[in-house]
Amino acid sequence: MSLADKKYLDIVKEILDEGFYEDSNRTGIPTYKLPHKIMQFNLEKEFPILTTKFVAFKTAVKELLWIFKDQSNDVKKLQEQNVHIWDEWMMEDGTIGTSYGWVVKEYDQIDKLIEALKNNPQDRRMMINLWQIPHLAGGALAPCCFLTMWDVTDGKLNCMLVQRSGDVPLGVPFNMTQYAVLVHLLAHVTGLKPGLFTHVINNAHIYENQVDGMRTQIERENEAYAAPKLWINEEIKDFYDFTIEDIKLIDYKHHPSIKMEVAV
């Protein structure tokens, strides 16, 4: 069994067994929730992606590159790649406004991080922060995964992701995989090895209409597969040269998808 399945399903079971029923939230769909859930993975040993259901790895990586490499807010650029996860939040101008990639670009956050990792790796201020208060109102959606904090220890790149709100059935599997990829990419272009990836979820919730799907996934726990391997094109030396073809999974075995509703 992959460690990702075990740690993730432990949180799912805890929410279903002990979660607080909350019928007042932005979406209007009640949730079961718990605060402060944490998963940690050693990326040198295993790549974290669920096998107890299919996770659309390529779609997740395309969104990751759209945010951090392209630093875009243009939903049409995702649609051109057959990625439609932002369609429901697209504004009249075809963008998501001052959210995500726009904020990365506005404050030159990737270049500053790479510069620090290469030239001042013991800097304790290395972070990417998407929660920029002056620009929150101009975005289609306040960022969920809003903060990454970076550390270099013993030649290894460690990352802590802070997620203010985590849709555990749908969002969290995407996010854990995306940011693990980001650690690998940044480690590669800065001459480091991937280290710890710690995923902190402030509000971990399961929507009421997702409970049956989660119980189906729990039933597969004893039939989970081993984790796949991540392959990245080692010939790429510049972060901005990565494409979706340079990032692949090897031997990703998984159970079928589980259809669940997205709360908008």
The residues assigned a catalytic role are: 144
Q: Which of 227, 221, 228, 251 is nearest to 52 (CA)?
A: 221
The number of beta carbons lying within 10 Å of the beta carbon of residue 167 is 24
Could you give phi then psi for residue 132, rounded to 5 degrees? -100, 105
Tokens standing for residue 14: 């805890």
The DSSP bridge pattern shows strands 156-167 and 193-207 to be parallel
d(CA 99, CA 59): 19
Q: What is the CA radius of gyration of the chain?
A: 18
Residue where the block lists tokens 């903060």: 147
Distance of CA 257 to the CA centre of its chain: 18
H or E element at residue 212: helix 211-219
User: In 200-226, which positions are buried (b, 16+ CB within 10 angstroms) versus exposed (e)?
Assistant: bbebbbbbeebbebbebbeebbeebbe
